[in-house]
Amino acid sequence: MPLPRCKYAFLTLPRYSMIALVNAVEPLRMANILTGETVYEWSIVSPEGAPTASSNGLQLSPAVALEQLGAVDILFVCGGVDVQAAVSPRILAALRRLAERRVPLGALCTGGYALAKAGLLDRYRASIHWENLSALREEFPRIRLNDQLFTIDRDRFTCSGGVAPLDLMLHLVEHKLGAQVSQLISEQFIVDRVRNDRDRQYVPLRAQIGVSHDSLIRVAQLMEENIEKPLSLDEIANATGLSRRQIERLFKRHLNCVPKRYYLQMRLRRARELLLQTSMPIIDITTACGFQSPPHFSRCYRAQFGCPPSAERLPRRAKDAAARRAEEVSA
């Protein structure tokens, strides 16, 4: 029996990100090849039906006019450079009409701005490219924005930029066709690891707090330079010429956490990179990231990521089961 078809549409805003769109489409093409069926169909959509120039000047055709779009399973808004200027009242009205028809909506890169401006992300969890996180949090406080690579919340599918749409599509392919097909696609594209919605974008500190907070950036850089042998707060204070109290106030005001917690999260992120990208023994990673002992490292890691370090190297299904067990234990 043929598999049911799934139709995706990609609304290309002026100066959209080509890399984000291509990384979304290519897994669908490969899924069709590997299954030997046209499981996925996709269309490039533009406001007028003419090809839209991307941020690199290239265009994709043929294109369908937004008003002539037929039934689709998800419409993704593809954003890129200067997205505020690319979003017109006509596009906002069209997106609202689609939402009224209960069409699931998604966004790639900065395309989430269009959904936010249309009021279609209120009370939803959502992801967007890190460069736009701070501005959107200020302008749209009703959206539960996060720094995840992608977020699926009910009928909203939002994603950051670059290669992250590849991870989102592999996640959707796995849900529809199974983990084996998703894994085969990743192997075809020479992807070492399929990331999930627990993975986060790397958001540079300057993007989080602005370029004017040099003292806080100096402290964070000093922490990053001393991962294996973490410095005490007194040592950091002496090295930066700040007092303990000044450092604590900076972290509380701009990052809403204490310095010790920020330092720990930095070390845990480094540990996760080593777990997923190297074959280093866990005992060596424990030492390299400044933890006192493997049990201490395991406790901290489980509290941060929901599973023990050893589970990160299990096959995906076993990893998911381990994560569920960890949630049950903590519940």
Lowest-confidence range among 5-19, 79-93, 205-219, 291-305? Answer: 205-219
Look up the CATH superfamily of 6-188: Class I glutamine amidotransferase (GATase) domain (3.40.50.880)
**pLDDT, tens digit (0-9, with 9 covering 90-100), for 183-236:** 999 999 998 777 887 777 766 676 666 555 788 888 988 998 899 999 999 999
pLDDT at 32 over 90: yes
**3-class DSSP state for residue 185?**
helix
Look up the CATH superfamily of 208-222+229-256: Homeodomain-like (1.10.10.60)
Please spell the DSSP secondary structure of 239-291, one letter per residue.
HHT--HHHHHHHHHHHHSS-HHHHHHHHHHHHHHHHHHH----HHHHHHHTT-
What pLDDT is attached to residue 119?
97
Task: Output the six-digit token pair for 284.
Answer: 């060596």
- 139-142's contacts with Cβ under 8 Å and 24+ in sequence apart are 140/116
Task: Output the six-digit token pair for 310.
Answer: 């050893």
pLDDT at 326 over 60: no
Among 195, 199, 175, 174, residue whose Cα is nearest residue 185: 174
Residues of the chain with CATH 1.10.10.60: 208-222+229-256, 259-331
pLDDT at 156 over 70: yes
Q: Which CATH class is domain 259-331?
A: mainly alpha
Percent of the chain scoring above 70 in pLDDT:
91
Residues of the chain with CATH 3.40.50.880: 6-188
Is the preceding omega at residue 62 within 30 degrees of 0, hence cis?
A: yes
The model's pTM: 0.70
* Angle (CA) 172 176 178, round 5°: 100
Rounded Cα–Cα distance for residues 222 and 276 (Å) = 25
